[in-house]
């Protein structure tokens, strides 16, 4: 049987009285099942619990919540169920094993190569004279036109192709250009902001063969059955090894077939980043996974879930129930008391706390309050809030900005780009951002940067090492042919492609400028901008950008717009 948020009431009732031998569900629906008196009893005889794509859960609060749910199941089970975790892309299997089994259980790790037979190719196309004509027809830049042409050629040589992008706006832009080029081309788009009916229609069209190509984001990375895929195209750097392996793994989706992936690089840094990621993928060197440490909101949610089913619960009972969960292995009685204080002090009150007796008591008549709080906070998937952008001159909405962008960048005086134009933020009120068109786009931040996948420190550092190798080799008098030949032995990229990638670096070196490397940070003055070249990855560069922006704002009294990448 299958059970999730869209399962009909009729099917739920049937499962309640006639439980299936195997139930496929989500972590959130499992929480609801644990609150049902009848269906919860069926879990007493569960023998196996299989967690697919466990890496997607272990490093976030959904996984923390699931970990506590597993402890709750073990507490009611007649015999401890066997836990099985599945994933093709885990950088730290030992840590995920601990997440799965908890503190007091041995877990056997069965490691099989994730690669099967996998082929990567990095392409860095440059526009020819005929691409300028195509760019005029498609209302885009020649560099974009040549990339579209390369992708169209690849699509026509294969039966079915997935084109992955890193942002929804990029998916929309590529789909728009392809549709302008050929309205009859069997192509569609798939991402999380589209209506469910639209996504399902695309999935069915791909599976039936009516569609040859789908341009998508991470929405098609995992799980969904879309039939046989011949080729995966990654439009610009995948930014992470696990992303690349998951995406390219959608092609040749059987042990006998070859998974084929082509990366279309947008610029030289993009190409070098892709080189590093491909090398690490072929060596199965994946990003280490970090498990959140005892998130407080998840703890409160699960404490309420248990208290709803009885009249009182002692602090020690909670500790004994949760202590074997790996995210909560350091859980103390003081932590549980602090959570209890929150439940006691909150209005409306969720529980009475007696600190003297160290017990939480369910208040009389409070079940509805507890029920509402539990189910309103059941999902640990962050809600994505959108802010409406209002043009003060036209007194009309012009688009939306996502919460991630607003939290990091949006403040009065900051400029950003949307739909190809620059806008200055005047003020922010409630869920609306009031802006005015700006003639000077200098310093404007792209509105999609909040969607970008972070690049790990190790990947960015290796890009710096490549630049350092090029600089050192040139200083020794080595030829570009020798340099590209040496690097093509280490990275899956052709020497002739490398020559195009390194063209800017060679010009930079000829003019006597130092290169930004893994051992050197380069500060560059360009027009009214200052560019700091630092090969430290997204988290470090974001921190550096915030600190510098804050210091300059404090010194000048004016808002300073900062951007960062790797």
Domains of the chain: 2-111+292-376 (no CATH), 117-282 (3.40.50.300), 386-451 (no CATH), 457-556 (no CATH)
318: left (phi over 0), alpha (psi -120 to 50) or beta: alpha
Neighbours of 434 (CB within 10 A): 18
Res 417 pLDDT > 80: no
Beta bridge partners of 423: 416, 437
Least confident of 15-24, 118-127, 427-436, 524-533: 524-533
Res 340 pLDDT > 60: yes
For the ranges 245-249, 391-395, 429-433, 514-518, the maximum mean pLDDT occurs at 514-518
Res 115 pLDDT > 60: no
What's the pLDDT score for residue 27? 92
What's the pLDDT score for residue 449? 53
Which has the higher per-residue pLDDT, 177 or 461? Answer: 461
Output helix, strand, coil percentages for the chain, rounded to the nearest 5.
45, 15, 40
Going 473 to 477 to 479 to 485, the CA torsion angle's sign is: negative
Res 387 pLDDT > 90: no
C-alpha separations of 368 from 352, 406, 445 in Å: 15, 35, 46
In the structure encoding, which two tokens stand for residue 250, read together?
């959608």
Where does the pLDDT of residue 228 fall: very low under 50, low under 70, confident under 90, or very high at 90 and above?
confident
| Count of all residues that appear for the chain in the document | 566
Using one digit for the tens of pLDDT, what is the confidence trace for 233-288? Answer: 999 999 999 999 989 988 876 666 788 999 999 999 999 999 999 999 998 898 88
Calculate mean pLDDT across residues 326-348: 95
Calculate mean pLDDT across residues 364-381: 88
Which has the higher per-residue pLDDT, 193 or 80? Answer: 80
Helix (H) or strand (E) holding 80: none
- 35, with CB counted inside 10 A (0-12, 13-18, 19+), is middle
Using one digit for the tens of pLDDT, what is the confidence trace for 426-480? Answer: 999 888 899 998 887 666 666 555 567 889 999 999 999 999 999 999 999 999 9
Neighbours of 320 (CB within 10 A): 12
What's the pLDDT score for residue 157? 92
Phi, psi of 533 (to 5 degrees): -90, 110
* Contact by Cβ (8 Å): 304, 313: no
Where does the pLDDT of residue 420 fall: very low under 50, low under 70, confident under 90, or very high at 90 and above?
low
Q: Which of 297, 261, 256 is nearest to 164 (CA)?
A: 261
Beta bridge partners of 232: 162, 261
Using one digit for the tens of pLDDT, what is the confidence trace for 2-37? Answer: 888 778 888 888 888 888 899 999 999 999 899 988
* Contact by Cβ (8 Å): 3, 25: yes
Neighbours of 93 (CB within 10 A): 17
What's the pLDDT score for residue 116? 64
Report the mean per-residue pLDDT for the chain.
88
Instruction: Return the percentage of the chain with pLDDT > 70, whole number.
Output: 95
Calculate mean pLDDT across residues 92-110: 88
**pTM exceeds 0.85:** no
In the structure encoding, which two tokens stand for residue 249, read together?
């793994």
What's the pLDDT score for residue 22? 93
Res 49 pLDDT > 70: yes
Instruction: Return the percentage of the chain with pLDDT > 90, whole number.
Output: 53
Where does the pLDDT of residue 173 fall: very low under 50, low under 70, confident under 90, or very high at 90 and above?
confident
Kind of pairing between the strands at 445-446 and 432-438: unpaired
Beta strands, E only, 154-290: 161-164, 187-190, 213-216, 231-235, 258-264
Which has the higher per-residue pLDDT, 220 or 352? Answer: 352
Using one digit for the tens of pLDDT, what is the confidence trace for 60-100? Answer: 999 999 999 999 999 999 999 999 999 888 888 999 999 99
State whether residue 341 is helix, strand or coil: helix
């Amino acid at each position: 049987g299958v059970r999730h948020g869209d399962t009909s009431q009729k099917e739920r009732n049937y499962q309640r009285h006639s439980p299936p031998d195997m139930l496929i569900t989500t972590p959130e629906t499992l929480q609801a099942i644990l609150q049902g008196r009848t269906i919860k009893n069926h879990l007493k005889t569960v023998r196996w619990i299989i967690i697919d794509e466990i890496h997607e859960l272990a490093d976030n609060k959904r996984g923390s919540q699931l970990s506590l749910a597993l402890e709750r199941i073990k507490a009611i089970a007649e015999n401890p169920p066997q836990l099985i975790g599945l994933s093709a892309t885990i950088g730290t299997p030992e840590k995920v094993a601990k997440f799965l089994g908890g503190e007091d259980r041995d877990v056997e790790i069965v490691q099989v190569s994730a690669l099967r037979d996998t082929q990567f190719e990095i392409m860095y196309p440059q526009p020819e004279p005929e691409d300028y004509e195509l760019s005029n027809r498609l209302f885009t830049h020649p560099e974009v036109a040549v990339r579209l042409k390369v992708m169209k050629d690849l699509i026509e040589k294969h039966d079915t192709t997935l084109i992955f992008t890193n942002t929804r706006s990029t998916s929309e832009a590529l789909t728009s250009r392809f549709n302008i080029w050929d309205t009859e081309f069997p192509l569609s788009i798939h991402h999380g902001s589209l209506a469910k009916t639209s996504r399902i229609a695309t999935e069915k069209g791909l599976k039936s063969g009516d569609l040859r190509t789908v341009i998508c984001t991470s929405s098609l990375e995992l799980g969904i059955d879309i039939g046989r895929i011949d080729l995966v195209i990654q439009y610009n750097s995948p930014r992470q090894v696990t992303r690349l392996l998951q995406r390219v793994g959608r092609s040749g989706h059987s042990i006998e077939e070859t998974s084929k992936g082509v990366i279309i690089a947008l610029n030289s840094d993009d190409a070098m980043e892709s080189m590093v990621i491909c090398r690490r993928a072929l060596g199965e060197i994946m990003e280490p996974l970090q498990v959140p440490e005892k998130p407080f909101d998840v703890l409160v949610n699960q404490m309420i879930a248990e208290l709803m089913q009885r009249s009182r619960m002692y602090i020690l009972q909670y500790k004994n129930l949760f202590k074997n969960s790996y995210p909560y292995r350091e859980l103390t009685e003081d932590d549980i008391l602090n959570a209890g204080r929150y439940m006691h002090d909150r209005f409306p009150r969720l529980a009475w706390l007696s600190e003297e007796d160290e017990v939480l008591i369910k208040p009389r008549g409070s079940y509805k309050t507890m029920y509402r709080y539990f189910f309103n906070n059941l999902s640990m998937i962050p809600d994505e809030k959108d802010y409406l952008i209002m043009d003060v001159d036209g007194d009309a909405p012009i688009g939306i900005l996502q919460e991630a962008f607003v939290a990091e960048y949006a403040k009065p005086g900051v400029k950003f780009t949307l739909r190809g134009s620059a806008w200055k933020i005047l003020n922010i009120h409630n869920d609306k951002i009031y802006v005015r068109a700006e003639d000077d786009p200098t310093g404007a931040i792209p509105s999609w940067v909040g969607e970008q996948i972070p690049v790990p420190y190790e990947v960015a550092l290796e890009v710096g090492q490549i630049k350092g190798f090029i600089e050192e080799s040139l200083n020794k008098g080595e030829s570009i042919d020798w340099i590209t030949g040496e690097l093509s032995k280490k990275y899956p990229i052709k020497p002739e492609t490398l020559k195009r990638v390194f063209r800017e670096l060679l010009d930079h070196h000829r003019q006597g400028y130092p290169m930004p490397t893994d051992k050197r940070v380069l500060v560059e003055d360009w027009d009214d901008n200052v560019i700091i070249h630092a090969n430290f990855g997204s988290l470090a560069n974001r921190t550096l950008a915030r600190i510098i922006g804050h210091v300059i704002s404090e010194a000048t009294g004016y808002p300073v717009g900062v951007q960062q990448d790797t």
